[in-house]
Chains A and B, each alone.
Chain A
C-alpha cells in the first residue's frame, strides 16, 4: 500500500514535471533536499509566474551540476496553484506536510502570499517571496527578495516629479483590485500629500483581475490629463490585463511624452505579448533590467537562454529575464549559502544564518540580506520602454538601499522596522 502510494506520488510528480517541460531528474529520495516551487502555471498570473518557475528550476539544475548543497542534490517539487488564492494555501500545506520541503520559492501576488503566510507560520516553513510588494508585513518565516515600497514605488514617483521625469503634478493611480495596489496607492497618496499634491490632483481607479476592456479608463485618463497640469499614471495592474491595457494605450494614441505611465508589475516578460513600438517612453521601476550591462548579467541571461532551449520552453529563442526572476535566482543562492553556513536545512537555523548573506547579483550590485528585517538591500532602476520591448535605464541609485517594509508615510509604523 505504502509503496503503491509513493509510486503514484512519484508518477504524478514526474508527470507534472514532464508537463512543465522540465527534465530535472528525480534523484534517490534519501540523499536529496526537497525544494518547493509554488507558482501559478495557469490562469491570469501564468503570464508572469511561469518564468519564475523556470528560473528556479534552472538555478536548481545549476546548483546540482556544481555538486548540490552540502553534497546533497536538490529535488524540485513543482505545484501549480492556478492563480487561485485559496489553492495557494492548500498547495503550500501539501509541500510542507506531505513533501516535507526544506524551503519554498513562490508566490507573485500579495493576495497569494497573504494566503500562504499562516500555513508557513503554523508548520514553521521557509518561503522566499521574489516580487516587489506593498510592505506593511514582516513574517519570521518569509524572506522578501523583491522590493519594498521605498525600493520601487516611492523612488519612481519621485522621479516622475523630477525635472527629467517631466515634473508631474497630477497623478492617476491605476491598479488591479486587491491588496497590493490598494496598499501601495494608500502609501503613495500619503507620500504625495507630503509633497503638497492635493486630493483633487489624484485619481484612483481599480479593475478586477483579468479585466480586458480599458476603453473607459483610458478615456478618463485623457480627460483627467487635460486639466492643464502635467499628468502621470502609476500602474499597479497585475497579470494578463496588462496586455489589453497597453494595447489600448497604444491604439488610443496616448504617448509617453504627454502622459507617461510608470508600471510596477510590468517587465520584459509581460511586454513579450505586446507590440512595444507605440509604448516607447513609458516607464517601469525595478531593481534589475535585462538590458543592464555587466558580466554577471550577461552570464545569467546566457545561462537562462541555454536552459530554456535545452528544456523546450515554448518560444525559447525569445525568452527574456526580468526582475522577479533575478530575485528568485538571488534567493535560491542566498538560501544555499545560509544552509552551508548553518550546516543544516533546519528552518530556524537557516533563518538565523540568512541575515547578512551577500551575493553578487545580475543587476551588477552585491546584494545583502538585511540582518534584521528579512529584506534585501537593493538598487533602484527606472527604465523607459524601448521599441524592442526592453528597458533603457534612465535613472538609478548609486548604492543598494535598505528596505523599509513599514512605510514611514503611514501613521503608526514608526519603530516597526525590525522583526
Chain B
C-alpha cells in the first residue's frame, strides 16, 4: 500500500473519532469548499471526512465526484450534474436554470484511490452481500492500522464465510505490525492462507536483516511462522503461475486452431495450397463487423447478441466466397500445386483490395458484447477474460462440428472417399467435382467462423489475414496434413510453447524460436505429427 493511502486512512480514522456522536445531516460548506481545492491533499482529507460521516448526501457527493459529475460553476457553487438537470451539492435539491458554465472537478488516480477507500469503508457495513464483498476485497489490499476500528467490528458482525476470510486477511495484514508478539504470530500464520504475491513480499520483509545483522522481526517464533507462510504462498503462487501459463497457452492454441481448421480441410483433406486462406478469415471478421453495424442501427436493444447472429453469417459469407473461388479459379488447377499457390496468392490480393475499397484501409472497430467483456477472477488472483473463455468454448464447438460433419454425414463420407481415391469414388457414383466445391466451401466457411472469433480479440482490417496465414500453415503442416487430431495437437502445442517461451524470453525471441523449432521439426519429420493415407501418399 502506498504511504499516501496510509496517510489518508489515518485522517479517515481521526475524522471518524471527531464525527462520532455528532451526526451531520448534510456536509458543511467548508468541507465542500475543500473538495474543490486545487491541492490533492486537501481534497483527499475532505473525501475522508465525507466517507467517515457516511450520510446519504455525503455518499451521493462521493459517487458524483467518482463519476466526474460534481462540477464547479463560474460563480463558485458546487453542483451535481445529472442526465436531467443539476442538483445543489450541499442540499441535493434541484437548481434552475441549468448552470451552463459548470466545469466537472478533475479526479486523478490519487483522488480516485481515496474515493474508493472512503466508499469501501462505508460499504463494508452495507446489507447487500456483493457490495460488502467488493468492499472487503478492496480493504484487504489497502487496509492500514487506521482502519482497524472499522475492520474489527465488521469482521465480528460479518455473517458470510467468504467475506469473513477476506476481512480476516485484512486484519492479519495490519496485525503483522502489532506490538504484541502473540498477535504477530497469529497474523503471520493466518497470512499463509493468502495467495497474494504482495503479502509474500510483506512477510519476506520480516526476515530481512538490517546493517547490524538484526532481523527486522525480533521474535524468532514470528519469523518461523512467517517462513512457513511464505512457503505456503509460494507453493500456491507456483501452481497459479502454471495454471495461468496453461490458460494463456490454451487460449492462443484455440485461436490458432480456429484460424487453421478451415485450412485443415482445404489443404489437409483436398490438397489445395490456399494462400487466400487468411483472407477468408478476414471475410468472416468483416461479416461480423457488418452484422454488428446492422444490429446497432436496427436492433439496438439486442446489440449484445450480435455475435450469435454473426456466427452463421460469417460462415455463409466465407463459404460463398470460397465456393466462388473454387468454381472460378481453383478447380482448373487441381493437381498443379505451384499454379494453385500463385493463383490463390493473387486471389488473396484481390480480396484485400476489395475489402479496402468497400470498408476503407483502416481497421474497423468490433466491440466485445458486454457479456464478453471483463473477466472472472479465479484462484490466486488469476483473471480469466470472458472473451478468451468464450473463444476456447467456440473452438471446441467448431471442432465438434467439423468432426461430426466429416465422420457422420454422407457429405463427409464422400469427401473422405474422394480424398482417399478419387478415381474409385468417381466410379461408384460420387460426384467428385461437386464434392470438391462443397468441401472447399465448408473449409472456407470454417475459416469464416475463425474470423468471427478473431474479431473479438484482434484487430479487424483488410490485411489481417496476412498475419494468420503463416500460423495456419504451421499448424496444419506440423499436425500432419489431413488429420483433425493432428491440427488440434499442433495448435495446442504451438500455443503452449509460444506462451512458455514468451514468459521466459519475451515475445520477439519466442516468435523466432517457434519458427526455428518448426523448421527443424519439418526436416526431421516431413509428414508431421500424424501421418496420413490419401491423395498425398499416392503422389
Contacts and interface: CB of A to CB of B under 8 A. Distances in A.
Do A and B share a complex?
yes
Interface of A: 19, 41-43, 46-47, 50, 80, 163-167, 177, 205-208, 210-213, 215-217, 219-220, 222-223, 226-228, 230, 240, 243-244, 247-248, 250-253, 256-257, 260, 272-273, 275, 278, 280-281, 314, 384, 386-387, 392-394
A216 B205 contact: no
21 contacts: A19-B357, A41-B362, A42-B362, A42-B463, A46-B461, A165-B110, A205-B506, A207-B508, A208-B507, A215-B388, A219-B503, A226-B197, A226-B200, A228-B205, A243-B459, A244-B459, A251-B375, A253-B377, A257-B116, A281-B112, A384-B108
A283 to B, nearest CB: 8
A76 B374 CA distance: 45
B409 interface: no
A272 B68 CA distance: 20
Contacts of B503: 216, 219-220
B373 A250 contact: yes
Given A226-B198, A240-B363, A275-B373, A247 B368 contact: yes
A166 B2 contact: yes
Interface residues of B, number: 60
B362 A164 contact: no
B193 to A, nearest CB: 17
Contacts of B377: 253
Contact of B374 (A163, A251, A257, A273): A251
Given A166-B109, A253-B375, A207 B507 contact: yes
Interface string B113-128: 1001000000000000
B374 A260 contact: no
Nearest to B111: A164
Across the A-B interface, the 6 shortest Cβ-Cβ residue pairs: A226-B197, A228-B201, A251-B385, A42-B361, A215-B248, A273-B365
Nearest to B247: A215
Most buried by B among A80, A163, A165, A386: A163
B2 A230 contact: yes
B83 to A, nearest CB: 14
B201 A275 contact: no
Contacts of B106: 392-394
A86 B344 CA distance: 26
Given A251-B383, A393-B106, A47 B362 contact: yes
A179 to B, nearest CB: 14
B356 interface: yes
B377 to A, nearest CB: 7
B499 A226 contact: no
B437 interface: no
B202 interface: yes
Contacts of B159: none
Contacts of B385: 248, 251-252
Contact of B109 (A213, A220, A281): A281
A227 B201 contact: yes
A164 B375 CA distance: 29
A222 B246 CA distance: 17
Contacts of B365: 272-273
A206 B508 contact: yes
Given A207-B507, A384-B108, A392-B68, A240 B459 contact: yes
B18 interface: no
B130 interface: no
B252 A208 contact: no
B374 A278 contact: yes
A227 B459 contact: no
B196 A226 contact: yes
Chain B interface main SS type? helix
Interface string B1-33: 011100000000000000000000000000000
A155 B467 CA distance: 36
Interface string B243-278: 011001001100100000000000000000000000
Contacts of B502: 216-217
A251 B361 contact: no
Given A208-B511, A226-B197, A163 B361 contact: no
Contacts of B363: 46-47, 240, 243, 273
B360 interface: yes
Contacts of A278: 373-374
Contact of A164 (B110, B251, B499, B511): B110
Interface of B: 2-4, 40, 68, 106-110, 112-113, 116, 196-198, 200-202, 205, 241, 244-245, 248, 251-252, 255, 356-357, 360-363, 365, 367-368, 373-375, 377, 381, 383, 385-388, 457-459, 461-463, 467, 499, 502-503, 506-508, 511
B368 A275 contact: yes
B508 A212 contact: no
Chain A interface main SS type? loop
Contacts of B373: 250-251, 275, 278
Contact of A215 (B200, B367, B499): B499
A303 B251 CA distance: 45
Nearest to A80: B361
B124 to A, nearest CB: 18
B394 to A, nearest CB: 16
A74 to B, nearest CB: 24
Contacts of A393: 106
Contacts of B388: 215, 251
B110 A163 contact: yes
B387 A251 contact: yes
Contacts of A213: 252, 255, 457
A67 B296 CA distance: 43
Contacts of B356: 42
Given A216-B502, A251-B374, A167 B2 contact: yes
B46 to A, nearest CB: 16
Given A42-B462, A43-B463, A394-B106, A257 B362 contact: no
Contact of A226 (B107, B201, B360, B361): B201
Contacts of B245: 216, 219
Given A243-B363, A257-B109, 8 more contacts: A165-B109, A166-B110, A211-B507, A219-B248, A226-B201, A244-B459, A251-B373, A275-B368
Given A43-B463, A46-B361, A260-B109, A217 B507 contact: yes
Contacts of B507: 205-208, 211, 216-217
Contacts of A222: 381
Contacts of A392: 68, 106-107
A252 B383 contact: yes
A392 B200 CA distance: 36
Nearest to B116: A257
A164 B108 contact: yes
A163 B68 CA distance: 21
B68 A386 contact: yes
Given A220-B503, A275-B367, A240 B198 contact: no
A100 B197 CA distance: 62
A384 B462 contact: no
Nearest to A313: B360
A257 B113 contact: yes
Contacts of A212: 457-459, 467
Contacts of B499: 215-216
A328 B377 CA distance: 44
Contacts of B107: 384, 392
A47 B460 CA distance: 11
Given A208-B511, A216-B503, A251 B386 contact: yes
A278 B387 CA distance: 15
B272 to A, nearest CB: 27
Nearest to B458: A212
A375 B108 CA distance: 31
Contact of A219 (B40, B201, B244, B375): B244
Contacts of A177: 508
B500 to A, nearest CB: 9
Contacts of B511: 208
Contacts of A208: 507-508, 511
Given A163-B4, A275-B368, A252 B375 contact: yes
